[in-house]
A and B are shown apart, each in its own frame.
Chain A
Amino acid sequence: MSDSGLELSQEYEALVQFLYIAPVGLVQADLHGGIAMINPLSAQLLMPLSRDGNLTNLFSVLEGVVPDLQHLVQNFDAAYGMVCDGIRVPLGTVVQARSQPAMLSLTVLKLDEERLMAVLTDITRQVAQERLLRQNEAWLNAIMMGVTDYALARLDAEGRIDEWNPSIGRITGFEPADVVGQPISILYPEGSTTPERVHDRLREADQSGWSLDEGWQRKADGSRFWGSAMIVPLRAPPIGPPELDGFLATLPPFSQPASKSYSLVIRDITDKREASEAQRRIVSCDHLTGIANRRTFFEAGELEFTRGLRHARKLSLLMVDLDHFKSVNDRYGHAAGDAVLREFAGLLASCFREVDVVARIGGEEFAVLMPSTDEDQALLGAERLRLLVESQQVDIGDASIPYSISTGVATVASDSSELHSLMKRADTALYAAKSAGRNRTAVWKPA
């Protein structure tokens, strides 16, 4: 072999080895799922899912866990683009084995009219960590709500109470024999819940990590209390990294569940309905202005996107900035600046509907998320707000402070499927409004 031939074959071998050891799964397939190329990590992840022991067709290998993949690809009209981006594929009960991944992430890119590229990663560990964090948050929430006692139960996959905890007796007066093996509806007054409703709540918990509701609940003696009940999915925790051990130790002392299960936390908040509302505001609202805080905004935004994707709803976003706010602070002092922010937040809240989420997401940055609102309606809302701000001044002591706002408007189009990209567009429009001289509204336009 010539020197350059040898060099080429060595490079080829190195390249092949590079693909052999790549720590992500890569699959190239045709538009019908026929696998043309596949690397070892894909085989590691997909072989346990393959029903016929072959890796011939990506759609059929994934059929049990992503049944709509073929549909997604076929309904993807563009010649090129992301068919799905990092969707989470719970393997659940498909494969029951020790050390087997529980959750994959799947990205499918359409390269052209002939080819798909799929990227697979095992995200079991990240998901486990997220779940622990969510539980942590749930417990934190329970504490922050100022509640002194709670009942804790473990539910099986069907929503039956499958493990006794003395706290159940403490809160509800039931004995172990009354509740173990019973559906959670036993804890609710007759007629206030249905098996379907229980099922919905379990699914909701699966999808969003928890399901929380408030309402009347039943004690053993038939009396009622106003309860807050949260359901959080549990899974036989994959062995967490060492740094989580300390936290794991703080979790309630359940035995390890064999299959899918949930924890149910019930708190009697009969006496605290008002107080808990006040506490809720502390958690979800901006301390200065009283409107939703950044976290609440993102939660609401993600939720709207989940709903919007399912039902193809219109969703608009306004990003609002107070113009030259720094000079207000410099000239009148921070107390005056705070007064302006509070005043503006009040106007903002009064200008929009209950269903709109008005939030303070930064120092002088605000956002309004407007469900079921098209671009024209959003622009009208933004202008109404701008004119209202322009017409008013904020009185502090003997000074009156005039101020103005700039707003960027963006509306979800079919090619924008993430809160992040909608925000980016509204931000771009906001920047345009500012560069054009401030005290104006701009609508995002494709470049």
Chain B
Amino acid sequence: MSPIHPIDFSQPDIIARLQQCSVEELDALEFGVIGFDDQTIVRTYNAFEAKMAGLSAERVVGAALFNTVAQCMNNFMVAQRFEDAAEAGESLDAELDYVFTLRMRPSKVRLRLVAVPGAALRYVLVNRRL
């Protein structure tokens, strides 16, 4: 695993960088990356996220993000913002503190929600929060 991370959680234009990454490169990141398509089906689920959640990518890729993988985000704080942005044809790039239920433990996380009109995937990025 490379000690130098090519992508920083908070860097600008992150969506373009993520799209260029190979699966291996995404897996090397030290934050969670969940990429999903316009039908909210998960297409990318990196190793960091898989390890935190206790779920392998094989179980998650192809499933509906807000209904089966991450119900915890299926409210106006997260899912709705993606929906609203898509409806308005606008970009979304927002960070917020949130709580995940990783392996059923309440776990503080920092979320970054990113969407760009026309991009194949939208992303939820997940950073640990102390």
Please indicate the chain A residues that have their CB under 8 angstroms from the CB of B103 in the complex: 16
| Segment of A52-60, A165-173, A289-297, A386-394 engaged in the interface with chain B | A52-60
Are the CB atoms of B106 and A38 closer together than 8 Å? yes
Q: Which residues of A sit under 8 angstroms from B69, Cβ to Cβ?
A: 20
With a CB–CB cut-off of 8 A, which chain A residues contact B76? 48, 95, 97-100
A13 within 8 A of B: yes
B72 near A43 with CB under 8 A, answer yes
Whether A53 lies near B55 (C-beta < 8 A) is: no
CB distance A40 to B71 under 8 Å? yes
Please tell me if B56 contacts chain A, counting CB pairs below 8 Å.
yes
- In-complex Cβ contact of A19 among B67, B74, B97, B104 (8 A): B104
> Once the chains bind, are A47 and B55 in contact (CB under 8 Å)?
no
Residues of chain A within 8 A (CB-CB) of B75 are 44-45, 47-48, 97, 99-100
Q: How far is the CA of A40 from the CA of B98 in the complex (A)?
A: 12
Residues in B neighbouring A99, C-beta threshold 8 A? 75-76, 80
Residues of B in contact, count (CB < 8 Å): 27
Partner of B99, one of A17, A21, A54: A54
A13 near B80: Cβ-Cβ < 8 Å: no
B72 contacts across to A, CB distance below 8 A: 40-44, 47
**Residues of chain A contacted by B82 (CB below 8 angstroms):** none
Q: A43-B72, A44-B73 are in contact. Are A17 and B55 (CB under 8 A)?
A: yes
Q: A82 at interface (Cβ–Cβ under 8 A)?
A: no
**What is the CA–CA distance of A98 and B87 in the complex, to the nearest angstrom?**
14
**Cβ–Cβ contact A16 & B104, under 8 A:** yes
Whole-angstrom CA separation of A17 from B60 in the bound complex:
9
Q: When A17-B59, A21-B68, A100-B75 are in contact, do A38 and B80 touch as well, CB less than 8 Å?
A: no
Give how many A-B residue pairs fall within 8 Å (CB-CB): 84
- Say whether, besides A20-B55, A40-B71, A43-B99, A98 and B104 are in contact (CB < 8 Å): no
A43 touches B54 (CB 8 A): no
**What's the dominant secondary structure at chain B's contact region?**
mixed
Given A20-B55, A48-B75, A99-B80 in contact, is the A40-B106 Cβ separation under 8 Å? no
Q: Decide: B104 and A41 in contact? CB cutoff 8 A.
A: no
Residues of A42-81 at the interface with B, using a CB-CB cut-off of 8 Å, are 42-45, 47-48, 50, 53-56
B window 46-86: CB within 8 A of A: 53-56, 59, 67-77, 80
Assuming the A-B contacts A21-B68, A98-B76, are A53 and B99 also in contact, with contact meaning beta carbons closer than 8 angstroms in the complex? yes
- 0/1 interface trace, chain B 17-58, chain A, CB 8 Å (1 if under): 000000000000000000000000000000000000111100
A48-B77 contact given A38-B106, A39-B101, A55-B99, CB 8 Å threshold = yes
Using Cβ atoms and an 8 Å threshold, which residues of chain A touch B105? 36-38
> In the complex, how many residues of chain A place their beta carbon closer than 8 angstroms to a beta carbon of chain B?
31
Query: Within A5-51, which residues are at the interface with B (CB < 8 Å)?
Result: 12-13, 16-17, 19-21, 23, 35-45, 47-48, 50
- Contact status A40-B59, CB under 8 Å: no
Contacts of B97 in A (CB 8 A): 53
B108 an interface residue at 8 Å Cβ cutoff? yes
Residues of chain A within 8 A of B68, CB atoms compared: 20-21
Q: Which residues of B contact A20 (CB under 8 A)?
A: 53, 55, 68-71, 101
Shortest distance between the CB of A56 and any CB in chain B (Å): 7
Bound together, the chains give a CA A416 to CA B125 distance in angstroms of 50
- List chain A residues, Cβ under 8 A from B99: 43, 47, 50, 53-55
| Structural contact, A16 and B55, CB atoms closer than 8 A | yes
- A16 contacts across to B, CB distance below 8 A: 53-55, 103-104
Among A21, A41, A56, contact of B106 (Cβ-Cβ < 8 Å): A56
26 A-B pairs with CB atoms under 8 Å apart are A12-B54, A16-B55, A17-B59, A20-B69, A20-B70, A20-B71, A20-B101, A21-B67, A21-B71, A38-B101, A38-B106, A39-B104, A40-B70, A42-B101, A43-B72, A43-B100, A43-B101, A44-B72, A44-B74, A47-B75, A56-B106, A95-B76, A97-B75, A97-B76, A97-B80, A99-B80
Give chain B's interface residues, CB within 8 Å of chain A: 53-56, 59, 67-77, 80, 97-101, 103-106, 108
11 further interface pairs, Cβ-Cβ under 8 Å (given A47-B99, A55-B99, A95-B76): A13-B54, A16-B53, A16-B104, A17-B55, A23-B71, A38-B105, A40-B70, A40-B72, A48-B77, A54-B108, A100-B75
Chain A interface residues (CB < 8 Å from chain B)? 12-13, 16-17, 19-21, 23, 35-45, 47-48, 50, 53-56, 95, 97-100
Ranked 10 nearest A-B pairs via Cβ: A43-B72, A40-B72, A97-B76, A40-B71, A37-B104, A55-B99, A55-B106, A53-B97, A16-B54, A21-B68
